[in-house]
Amino acid sequence: MTPGLVGTAACEPIKTATPQYLTAEQVGELLQVSPRTVQRWALEDASMPATRLGRTVRFPRAELERWIKRSTQGSRKNKAVSGK
C-alpha cells in the first residue's frame, strides 16, 4: 500500500452535474430528433464527434456543442448566399 493514498478520491469516479459523454438518446432529446437519426448521423457524417467502444457510441458533450454551433452557423451562411 502506498502511504498517503489511503482514503483519497483517487479511485472514486468523477461525479459531475452534467455528463461529459452523452448517449444517442440524450443527443436526440437535445436536438429534438430520434436516437436512430443521431446514430445515422454519426455513421454518415465523419465531422460529428462520436467515441466508439465496441458497439457502444458516446458523444463528448463539449465537442458535440461545438459541432452543433459550426453546423448551424454554416447553414445560415448557405441560406444567405443562396437567397433561400
Q: Give the tens place of pLDDT for each residue, 29-44.
A: 999 999 999 999 999 9
pTM of full prediction above 0.75 = no
Q: 51 is in which domain, residue-wise?
A: 20-70
Q: 68, exposed or middle or buried, with CB in 10 Å at 0-12, 13-18, 19+?
A: middle
Considering the domain boundaries, does residue 55 fall inside one?
Answer: yes
Domains in the chain: how many in total? 1
- CATH code of 26's domain: 1.10.10.10
* 75 pLDDT tier (thresholds 50, 70, 90): low
Residue 40 lies in a domain: yes
In a domain, 29, yes or no: yes
